[in-house]
Amino acid sequence: MSKNPCAIIGIGQTQHKSRRWDVSLGGLVREAASRALEDARLTWADVDAVVLGKAPDLFEGVMKPELYLTDALGAAGKPMFRVHTAGSVGGTTGIVAAHLVETGIHRTVLAVAYQKQSEGNAQFALGSGKGASLGAGGAFAPYMRSYIHRTGAPLDVGPMVAVKDRQNALKNPYAHLKLADISLEKVKASQMMWDPIRYLESCPSSDGACAVVLTDEAGGLAAAADGRPPAWVLASAVRSEPSSFPGRDAVWSAGAADCAADVYRQAGITRPREQIDCAELYVPFSWYEPMWLEAHHIVGHGEGWKLTERGDTALGGAFPVNMSGGVLSTNPIGASGLLRFAEAALQVRGMAGEHQVDGARVALAQAYGASAQYFSMWLVGSSPDPFA
């Protein structure tokens, strides 16, 4: 199936914090979108359509926020799409925007995703407003215990991820958590929240937004000619599976494997570990780093924790993961997926600042949602055909 090239020419995000009470909800998304347009050297009038993603409405109690935020996103009279795929929504928002360009429906599309967690309560929303909410940590703890059991991973691997991602966040000016004194000892001494997950192995609650400007080949080439390198969307895929069915493997799930296989096939990747330079994976709880490395077949089953333990996934390692500090450092839920997708693009544009991976040419981004059942992934490159 042929498609038109799609270039990412603008990226913006807010300062992420526990409470962004200095701005309205509109002001929050506006901050990210304005920065993305500025980065793309475009104006509101240059945007043909807006795609908006966020976690379910129960989080802030704003129904149909895509209508409420029309003014803030300069979308009056333009197509406005709302995307719903739970925690993976930020990633899917980027993919929907890319599709609109790749199919030639629109030339330039603004993708925006946000969450203002301080206006509501995530545990309340995840528990559908009832008592005894499991929360995300409670829902995923059995999966992580199963992973540890199957692979025999040393129990220090989770805390190692927690330390590494917080160290990366110190290099990211937008990150929420800045834990300068983070250490393995500190992580292991923190409260056990949902065994095997401790407090410091869990993501924070953040207010924040992310925006990405996507455009066609001519727009991408124009940006490149102007000395502003674009990121090219090499491949994208979404997959989902039911939350529960007989024989479901929630650790190395079929949906996760199929989503990655589709992305690798589209891009012509046969050896992901060697051909991809770095990855932003949705890791809200420490153990999900090795779990996703395996479930997405970046390495074989049982091999993911070895990468982490060897330091390969550190910023200077052989296969850096979550250079931005990841979801463990910044979690405006609805935006978290798009933040992963944006960071991958920043890396191949060479614009990631202190958390830049030297010479990154191909980067993978992933987001997941609900009972680890929705997946969205994209692969971006510094050129439209990096393996030619």
Partner 1 sequence: MTTYVESTVRFPYKRSLGPVIGQFMTGLTEARLLGIRADDRVIVPPVEWDPETGEQLAHEFVEVGPAGTVRSWCWVEKPTTQHPLDRPFAFALIELDGASTGFLHAVDAGRREAMTTGMRVVPRWRTERRGHITDVEAFVPGDQPLPVERAEPAGEPVTMMTYDAEVHYLTPVTENETRVGQAAAEGRFLGLRCPRCARLYVGGKNDCPICAVALTPQDEVDLPQRGTITNYVIITPVQYPGQTETEPFARVHVLLDGVDVVLMFQPVVDLANDDVRPGVRVSAVWTPPDGTGRRALAGWRPTGEPDVDDPALVNRIH
Beta-carbon contacts of 217 under 8 Å, excluding residues fewer than 6 positions away, are: 4, 5, 7, 384
Region binding partner 1 by CB under 8 A among candidate stretches 122-130, 157-165, 230-238, 319-327? 122-130
In whole angstroms, the minimum distance from the beta carbon of 29 to partner 1 comes to 11
Choose between 207 and 277: whose C-beta lies nearer to partner 1. 207
Give the number of C-alpha atoms closer than 13 A to the C-alpha of residue 232, restricted to the C-beta side.
19
x/- site string to partner 1, residues 43 to 72, per CB under 8 A? -xx------------x-xx--------xxx
Residue with tokens 């330039």: 108
In whole angstroms, the minimum distance from the beta carbon of 277 to partner 1 comes to 33
Choose between 21 and 387: whose C-beta lies nearer to partner 1. 21
In whole angstroms, the minimum distance from the beta carbon of 371 to partner 1 comes to 10
Residue type at 204 in one-letter notation: P
Backbone angles phi, psi at 375, to 5 degrees: -130, 140
Region binding partner 1 by CB under 8 A among candidate stretches 98-106, 191-199, 269-277, 280-288? 191-199
CB-CB contact of 175 with 59 (8 Å): no
Q: Binding of partner 1 at residue 301 (CB under 8 A)?
A: no
SS3 of 163-198: HHHHHHHCCCCCCCCCCCCCCHHHHHHCCEEECCEE
Choose between 195 and 274: whose C-beta lies nearer to partner 1. 195
Q: Which of 64, 181, 191, 227 binds partner 1 (CB under 8 A)?
A: 191
Q: Nearest 5 degrees, angle CA 139-CA 378-CA 50?
A: 95
Choose between 81 and 171: whose C-beta lies nearer to partner 1. 81
Backbone angles phi, psi at 350, to 5 degrees: 70, 25
x/- site string to partner 1, residues 6 to 35, per CB under 8 A? -------------xxxxxxxxx--x-----
Q: Quick one: CA torsion of 162, 165, 167, 173, rounded to 10 degrees?
A: -140
Closest CA to 117 of 208, 33, 22: 208
Choose between 168 and 240: whose C-beta lies nearer to partner 1. 240
Residues 223-242 that bind partner 1 (CB under 8 A): 242
Q: Binding of partner 1 at residue 142 (CB under 8 A)?
A: yes
Give the number of C-alpha atoms closer than 13 A to the C-alpha of residue 39, restricted to the C-beta side.
27
Q: Binding of partner 1 at residue 2 (CB under 8 A)?
A: no
Residues of the shown chain interacting with partner 1 in the complex, contacts defined by CB under 8 A: 19-27, 30, 44-45, 58, 60-61, 70-76, 116, 118-121, 123-124, 128-135, 137-139, 141-143, 145-146, 149-150, 191-195, 242, 244-248, 250-251
